[in-house]
Amino acid sequence: MSVSVRKTKKILLTGPPGTGKTAVIDELKELNYAVKEEVIREMTAALEDLNESDGINPLVIADDPLEFNKRLFEKRKEHFKQSATNEVCFFDRGLIDVVGYMEHFKQVYPPYFTAEIKNNRYDMVFYFEPWEAIFTKDEERLETFKDVLSIDDTLKKCYHRLDYDFVVVPQKSIAERTRFILNMINV
């Protein structure tokens, strides 16, 4: 008798800041789907308290940006591993985003990041493009909309270079975006 082992569908939601990813993650959570929330907000909030960054992105001014990004990468990898107990799991950002942001800020990342990304692949990626109508700055989101456009360009190049295709999420209501994603993954 063979035992059927179900593989978790790992679904990544990504894109530059302020594009509605977290709102959709929150909606998926309300629908009782397994989600792994973004970890960077708590990390950058702690940095801001320590450094009083005055609007400069904490990823740039951290005492040790490489160490900060290594911790971020490990937290996201841990989320990836923890998802194995679910049939479907949604991620608010992923491993590739660490590399994309480091490239955006002209930071060098260790080669093992690329190896880990190749060994921990998401099954499907949904990309949220810049949407000025919903973009807002807040205490943890320090980028301007012009910064968002630049980050968008870097992230897209990074995803393509690391052999990921993505589905662009239409700029519609939270409910419509959520339904679009669920329809695309057939759940």
pLDDT 10s digits, 42-92: 676 666 554 444 444 555 556 678 998 999 999 999 999 888 777 899 999
In this structure, how many other beta carbons lie within 10 angstroms of the beta carbon of residue 20?
Answer: 21
182 has a pLDDT exceeding 90: yes
What is the CATH code of the structural domain delimited by 9-184?
A: 3.40.50.300
Lowest mean pLDDT among 17-21, 166-170, 176-180: 17-21
Quote the pTM value.
0.87
Q: Position of tokens 């499907």?
A: 124
Averaged pLDDT score across all residues of the chain: 87
pLDDT-based confidence at 40, cuts 50/70/90? confident
With CA atoms as reference, report the closest residue to 18 among 176, 173, 142, 182.
142
